[in-house]
């Protein structure tokens, strides 16, 4: 009997520990986001579904909340555009948040302005800003440029924009 207790106790203790850890940290991708708000995440715990890079920090990141209230995290707003194209998800019924570089907060991606030549993670160049500056473009124009391949990842466009 004593041997059975010595064997079962660690098994139950380990099971309890796994159950506790699973309830304490829930991945933000598992949360049902009915409020459609930007969610917090820990560095290196969520991956961009388009390029598979892990997100570190908020700079250049975006979040999409689809009609099923699932949140998808992106390391580059260009990945958002390509993801909608590739997955055929309903972009119009989705909420898109971008983290702005000038005000350091989440805003509606459709209300943001985009630079053309920022050094973004995927080298597309579209940094999100809340305040418009000369040369910045609106969401729809950024979206079209991404779909046409007119971004900094193209060496010709890069040379045209940077003169390098």
pTM equals 0.83
Beta bridge partners of 51: none
68-91 per-position pLDDT tens digit: 999 999 999 999 999 999 999 999
pLDDT, one tens digit for every residue, the chain (164 residues): 666 666 666 666 666 556 555 555 578 888 999 999 999 999 999 999 999 999 999 999 999 999 999 999 999 999 999 999 999 999 999 999 999 999 999 999 999 999 999 999 999 999 999 999 999 999 999 999 999 999 999 999 999 988 86
Question: Domain extents for the chain?
Answer: 32-162
CB burial of residue 120 (10 Å; 0-12, 13-18, 19+): buried
Which residue's entry shows tokens 């304490």?
24
Q: Rounded CA gap, 132 and 136, in Å?
A: 6
CB burial of residue 79 (10 Å; 0-12, 13-18, 19+): buried
């Amino acid at each position: 009997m004593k041997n059975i207790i010595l064997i079962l106790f660690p098994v139950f203790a380990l099971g309890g520990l796994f159950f506790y850890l699973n309830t304490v940290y829930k991945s933000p991708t598992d949360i049902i986001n009915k409020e459609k708000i930007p969610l917090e995440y820990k560095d290196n715990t969520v991956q961009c579904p388009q390029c598979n890079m892990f997100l570190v920090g908020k700079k250049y990141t975006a979040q999409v909340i689809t009609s099923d209230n699932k949140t998808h995290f992106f390391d580059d707003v260009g990945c958002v555009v390509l993801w909608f194209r590739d997955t055929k998800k309903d972009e119009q019924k989705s909420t898109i948040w971008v983290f702005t570089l000038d005000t350091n907060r989440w805003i509606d991606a459709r209300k943001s302005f985009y630079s053309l030549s920022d050094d973004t993670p995927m080298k597309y160049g579209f940094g999100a800003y809340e305040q418009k500056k000369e040369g910045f473009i609106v969401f729809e124009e950024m979206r079209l440029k991404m779909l046409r391949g007119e971004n900094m990842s193209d060496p010709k466009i890069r040379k045209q924009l940077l003169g390098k």
